[in-house]
Amino acid sequence: MKYNSIILLPNFIKVFPALFIAGLVWVGWIAAADDARAGPKSTGITLTPVTSRVLPDDPNTTLTTVVVNLAPEAKTGSHRHGGMVFVYVLEGTVRSQLNSGEIIEYRPGQSWSEPPGTVHSFMENPSQTAPARLLATLISPTGAQLTTYD
């Protein structure tokens, strides 16, 4: 059987834009994750990527999911995200403050959300010994910076 690359070219042309956009999103997401890890206003926080996908019905929107690992006494300063955020506590205790409002303590099984434009004023793991883990899902414009520190 002879391999004919010309036959495959139309399929490649159809798929290439989606692959290119997905690659750009992945690179942007990794850069944002590195910013969050190395940000001057966060200490003891690391991110574990879960998924980042352009929505099939809306190529202008990306769904990104990440596990946020907070070491004991880890904290972050004021920041905002590039879209809607849903957070679910997997392990430990997390204290969080949105828009300079009340500081709320969340435990495993509890969640909160951050509409676009929300200032995440403060977040910490108050434990001196136990880590905390969150599952964060972001729905954001494709290519948007996911975290920006104030």
**Tens-digit pLDDT profile for residues 88-146:** 999 999 999 999 999 999 999 999 999 999 999 999 999 999 999 999 999 999 999 99
Give, in degrees to the nearest 5, the angle at Cα 125 between 39 and 32.
Answer: 25
**Tens-digit pLDDT profile for residues 27-72:** 455 444 444 444 445 689 999 999 999 999 999 999 999 999 999 9
Query: Residue 149's pLDDT is what?
Result: 87
Query: Residue 54's pLDDT is what?
Result: 97
Residue 145 to residue 124: CA distance in whole angstroms: 22
Q: Which domain holds residue 75?
A: 5-149
pTM: 0.72
CATH number, domain containing residue 114: 2.60.120.10
Considering its fold, how many domains does the chain have in total?
A: 1
